[in-house]
Structure 1
Amino acid sequence: MKALAIIKAGEIKLVERDMPRMGTGEILLKIKYVGFCGSDLSTYLGKNPMVQYPRIPGHEISAVIEDIAADVPETFAVGQAVTVVPYTNCGQCTSCKQKRFNACRYNQTLGVQRDGAMAEYMAVPWQKVLKDEALSDVQLALVEPMTVGFHAVDNGNVTDLDTVMILGCGMIGSGAIVRAKLRGATVIAVDVDDSKLEVARQLGADYLINSTTKDLHNQLQTVTCGDGPTVVIEAVGNPVTYRAAVEEVAFSGRVVCIGYAGNEVSFPTKLWVQKEVEIMGSRNANPTDFEAVMKYLKQTNLDEKVLVSCIVSPEQASRAMEDWAKAPGKFLKILVKF
């Protein structure tokens, strides 16, 4: 079968791989669309320490069921449209014992620690397959990246009393905007790209700030009547935005960090001690986050294609990755159609 592989840093190409064989309790999927994630870009750039080459990327998946092995529940049937929860969990570490499977100490994510979904077929355990034939193939490929933002909003305990600033309006930030609005919060979207801020507006953001053309602090002081946002979600992974999150959050506010900063980040400890700020990480997503995103996509009037920068064939994927690497801020989501 045809597959896309990142051979080494800076090289991605089509390769031939053997068809996967189902084990007991597994489902064979025919892949429809797979999204490129920021972790895939890091792998391509040689900046992902969790990856060994060559690696088949991809964990944002839409597919149809091609075949079913033994010991799979009868609720699954050939031809059903599905997406996949792309994480593993050991069931024994401290996170798993608290049912926080998203933060499993030994997690292996498709396309990162193990080969992913950028191929014509893949076999996965039935427990990781989520079916919903009310969603389109494109919508199913957008589920996983949106869940990460949904999970961050849950970690921040966002309510309708909160003003939430979201730093970074890529796919993960977009998911956070949607979830925060569903919770009834006032949302401030911050990015350096006006096209992403326009998408944020369509997703329901109440205020838009381009931090390269406007003074972020002054804008926030005006919007929040001098208090600052009660919740800040960092979805960039940059020392500048990490510091801004702590500097701008309100007293007794919450900061939720999703992005991985490439360099160490230093803070004046006075900021979070005097403010008594809660700072927490947010990793991956839980099954309930997947359910919430799928429910949203079925109920929204939003054209999900506003979240998609381009759809390419496997043959075009290498060029698309090169373009993304040159201008990462210009792309929201690249989908590969198999």
Structure 2
Amino acid sequence: MAMVDIDMPRPAPGEVAVRIAYIGYCGSDLNSYRGTNPLVSYPRVPGHEISGVIVETGQNVPPTLEPGQRVTILPYFNCGSCNACRMNRPNACKHNKTLGVQREGALTELVCVPYGKVVAVNGLETRALTLIEPLAVGFHAARRAEIVPEERVVVLGCGVIGLGAILGALSMGAHVIAVDLSRSKLDRAVRLGAHATIDAAQECVDRALQDMIGEDGPEVVIEAVGAEETFRQAVDIVASCGRVIYVGYAKNPVLYETRLFVMKEINIRGSRGALLSDFHDVIEYLKRNPAASDVIISRVVGLEDACSAMAEWSADPGALTKILVQLSEDVDERA
């Protein structure tokens, strides 16, 4: 990872130029840094958790978007013609290209994107805008679970995606149990409203769940770790006729006890990215709960420390939940 100079872009017709205020580091950025992201090509500018301000608009941009507005960006670029796009599920586009993965990201001074990808946001602290995309991924996973009030929901993994799943499940009236290996991450989950936690580094998850809710098990398990062990664990602990939602993905093939699929008659669903409606749900949540960003954000660094911060996170991923890189000094604190 290195600092380089690139050409300053100008907005083409239908595009908006956004000056970046903050970028959040995502787990996919960390995997790209480590060389374990199978979707990325190099060299690549990372960054798709975005807070910025419009500085210029190209021709044919609606007047509702104008210079000075605080915005985030929907970082997924779908093809518009595959079966997922035709079903109005562009997040699952077969040919999707995400900022910072298959196309250049936003860890830079200025980006130009089609106006349809720009989401104006008022009434939030500027840095909180970086949390919209990752929390929306978790909200989308909760939506995929079709949670009904009072259901028991276990979330495996309390990174930002897992925290988003917790918040999404809570907003749907669930009783949420958070599971992680990190005590500090579990403490964050409690501060955000999780009803109970299991420290998987100290406790047997199966036994702890039985003590909490009995032998039936949780109606929903959301896997937000992306490890072979937790992929299998989700199927093992979910109740009969329950739902398992995978929002993480394991790096290696997973060996299952497949009889459980049939004997429990469970539903297994994937959850990919987020929809614009999930973005708006998160925006409304953050407006109602402005203190949440302070719980989630671990550290803010300047661009000059962006490389060393990534190296530090890679050395001890469990120590930090969310690192932000600040690219603009003259940003207002509230939009």
Q: TM-score, with normalisation over the residues of structure 2? A: 0.96
Counterpart of 1:284, as a letter, is: G
Tell me which residue corresponds to 1:292: 281
Q: CA deviation at 1:302?
A: 2.8
- The Cα of 1:117 is off from its aligned counterpart by 0.3
Other-structure match for 1:149: 138
1:40 Cα deviation after fit: 0.6
- Deviation for aligned residue 1:301: 4.8
The SS at the match of 1:83 is: strand
Find out whether 1:196 has 2:185 as its counterpart: yes
Q: CA deviation at 1:213?
A: 0.4
Partners of 1:232 and 1:115 in 2: how far apart?
34
Correspondent of 1:95 among 84, 92, 104: 84
Cα deviations by residue, 1:131-166 (Å, 9 ceiling, x for unpaired): 012112111111000000000000000111310000
- 1:209-224 equivalences under 5 Å are 209-224=198-213
Residue in structure 2 matched with residue 5 of structure 1 by the alignment: none
Are 2:35 and 1:38 equivalent residues in the alignment?
no
1:62-93, Cα deviation, whole Å (9 max, x unpaired)? 00000011101111111110000000111110
| Comparing 298-307 and 268-277, the one that deviates more | 298-307
Q: What does 1:206-285 align with in structure 2 at a 5 Å threshold?
A: 206-285=195-274
Matched, 1:306 2:295: yes
Hey, what's the Cα distance between the residues in 2 that align with 1:136 and 1:212? 35
Deviates more, 1:142-151 or 1:127-136: 127-136
Partner of 1:183: 172
How far has the Cα of 1:259 moved from its partner?
A: 0.8
What amino acid does structure 1 have at the position aligned with 2:149? D
Asked whether the equivalents of residues 286 and 292 of structure 2 are also in contact (C-alpha less than 8 Å), the reply is no
Q: Which has the higher contact order (CA 8 A, sep 6+)?
A: 2
SS at the partner of 2:116? helix
Distance in 1 (CA, whole Å) between partners of 2:11 and 2:38 is 30
Q: Residues 23-61 of structure 1: CA distance to partner in whole angstroms, max 9, x if unpaired?
A: 111000000000111111111111112211110000000
Task: Select the residue among 22, 27, 46 that pairs with 2:16.
Answer: 27
**Deviation at 1:303?**
3.9
1:172 aligns with 2:161: yes
Q: Which whole-Å CA distance do the structure 2 matches of 1:289 and 1:126 have between them?
A: 18
Distance of 1:184 and 1:48 partners within structure 2: 35
Aligned partner (choices 312, 319, 322) of residue 330 of structure 1: 319
Alpha-carbon distance in 1 for matches of 2:290, 2:193 = 12
The whole-number CA distance in structure 1 between the counterparts of 2:297 and 2:239 is 33
Question: Percent identity over the alignment?
Answer: 47
What's the counterpart of residue 319 of structure 1?
308
Aligned-partner Cα distance in 1 for 2:143–2:43 = 35
AA at the equivalent of 1:157? E
Which digits, 9 at most, give the CA deviation of each residue in 1:229-275, with x for residues without a partner? 10000000001111110000000000000112111111111111100
Instruction: Find the aligned partners of 2:249 and 2:47 in 1 and give their Cα distance.
Output: 18
Q: Which runs of 4 or more aligned residues in structure 1 lie more than 2 Å from their structure 2 counterparts after TM superposition?
A: none
Counterparts of residues 33-182 of structure 1 (less than 5 Å): 33-182=22-171
CA distance, structure 2, for counterparts of residue 191 and residue 258 of structure 1: 15
SS at match of 1:15: coil
Secondary structure of the structure 2 residue equivalent to 1:311: strand
Cα deviations by residue, 1:191-221 (Å, 9 ceiling, x for unpaired): 0001000100011100111011011111111
Q: Report if aligned partners of 2:124, 2:290 keep a CA contact under 8 Å in 1.
A: no
User: Counterparts of 2:178 and 2:16 in 1: how far apart (Å)?
Assistant: 40
The one-letter amino acid of 1:292's match is D
In structure 1, how many angstroms separate the alpha carbons of the residues matched to 2:25 and 2:193? 25
After superposition, the CA RMSD in angstroms is: 0.8
Supply the distance in 2 between the matched residues of 1:166 and 1:200 (Cα, whole angstroms): 10
Determine the structure 2 residue equivalent to 1:6. none
Mapped contact 2:167–2:193 kept (Cα < 8 A): yes
Q: Deviations over 1:12-32 (max 9, x none)?
A: 111111101211110000000
3-state SS in 1 of match to 2:77: coil
Query: Which runs of 5 or more structure 1 residues have no equivalent in the other structure?
Result: 1-11
User: SS of 1:209's equivalent?
Assistant: strand
Counterparts of 1:154 and 1:316, CA distance in 2: 37
State how far apart, in whole Å, the 1-side matches of 2:292 and 2:260 are. 41
